[in-house]
Amino acid sequence: MAKINTVLFDFDGTIMDTNNLILESWQHTFRTVEGKERAAEDILETFGEPLNITMGKLLPQVPVEEGVKIYRSYHHDRFTELIEVFPGIPELLAELKHRGYKTGVVTSRLRNTTELGLKTYDMEQYFDTVVTCDDTDKHKPDPEPVNIALERLGAKPEEAIMVGDSMFDILCAKNAGVTSAMVGWALAISEGDKTGENQPDYILEKAEDLLAILEQ
């Protein structure tokens, strides 16, 4: 493996714990549209997918724009109240910057809430670029989001690692020729995903595990 000098992170469920926010936003949408909630498992398996695509799948009876408006209204109002950083992430990001790694966020989230989340926890200082769904025509698992980040950072695929919490992240990394790492605190990953055909190259049980990988 080539020496890694670039680290890319997913946002939701990887550096920022937005799990409850996303679940509650979907349940609010289901209650509004259908009058009842759904099983959490139905939502978890869509984690990492762009909202417009998931909305069309889960609520095909409602115009996507209408469903998205319901979801985002609740999501925006509760955003800073319901998010928090995963343990060890700020320390990891600070150490990566100290060691001179190029860093970026690659997310299917909108830019405004991505930047709001980073700013709320004073983490925008740690990232050299932020690629959101506003920046891409194609989305994870297509390699385009990672490719955009690499181009902005002047990095080669073999010099980069992508850290994420869903198979959308892992497949995006693989499709871009980038090393992949799955966080051990992911909610949307099964044991089969961790050991199957498309398994990640690494699994991080805690944030600082990444440093040992980079030192190899």
CB 203 within 8 A of CB 184: yes
Report d(CA 147, CA 173) in Å as an integer.
9
Is 209 assigned a catalytic role? no
Report d(CA 56, CA 19) in Å as an integer.
20
Q: Where are the alpha helices (DSSP H) in the chain?
A: 19-34, 40-44, 51-58, 64-82, 89-98, 111-120, 144-153, 167-175, 191-195, 209-214
Enter the DSSP assignment of 10: -
**10, 12, 165, 169: which one is catalytic?**
10
For Cα atoms 55, 34, 140, give the angle at the middle one, nearest 5 degrees: 15
Q: How many CA atoms lie within 13 A of 50 on its CB side?
A: 20
The tokens for 106 are: 């690659």
- Catalytic positions: 10
